[in-house]
Amino acid sequence: MALQLGDTAPDFEAQTTEGPIRFHEWLGDSWGVLFSHPKNFTPVCTTELGATAKLKPEFERRNVKVIGLSVDPLDAHEAWSKDIEETQGAAVNFPLIADPDRKVAGLYGMIHPKASDTLTVRSVFVIGPDKKIKLSLTYPASTGRNFDEILRVIDSLQLTSEHQVATPANWKSGDEVIIVPSVSNEDAKKKYPEGWREEKPYLRYVSSPRR
């Protein structure tokens, strides 16, 4: 059965470009982004890994560890990393999992027979410090991911995990948020004594509690 939001992210041991890891131990108390690549030495994946490397400070600021995966062996990852640095202007600065036996890809449902019997699709899993899956996305092999969007979603997930709010469409960090319906007006007055903007009883906007 496919992994669902709220499921515990499967633990595993794997070889990576930064040495062997046990996934849950490697994550520690951090958030995590695990994302797969259909194959090494492919054009779209090359641009994605370069983009992620450039965004590493942004992930670190959010206490997020990033790790990539493809079903190619470790020596191919190391050779590919040189191409990424040459073409994208950024060296890969996070681990890449070597998964030639497709063990990890199988655990996370990263191989979709309707897309390919052997190669992974572009999966993204955002995992919380509690090791629960908070977000999953699946892209076709032909479409590169928007990592600014992944950062935006992480901002929302972290904010809403700390406060009883939700984020509206096209929300960005610092924008107004929505008080969730389970918070009564009486309780909302205690949490937000400065008040809120109400468009409907179920649609109450308030300034972001942080950032």
Please report the pLDDT score of residue 16 as a whole number: 94
Measured N-to-C along each axis, helices 43-54 and 147-162 cross at an angle, to the nearest 10 degrees, of: 50
Q: Which of 33, 34, 45, 127 is catalytic?
A: 45
| Contact status, residue 105 vs residue 34, Cβ threshold 8 Å | no
44 pairs with which residues across the strands? Answer: none
Chunked into runs of 10 residues, the chain (211 residues) has average pLDDT values of 90 95 98 87 86 95 95 81 88 92 90 60 92 93 89 96 94 95 94 94 92 54
Burial level of 103, CB count in 10 A (0-12/13-18/19+)?
middle
Q: Could you tell me the domains of the chain?
A: 13-145 (3.40.30.10), 163-206 (3.30.1020.10)
Other CB atoms within a 10 A radius of the CB of residue 192 amount to 16
* Residue 27 bears catalytic tag: no
Please report the pLDDT score of residue 114 as a whole number: 55
Please report the pLDDT score of residue 40 as a whole number: 67
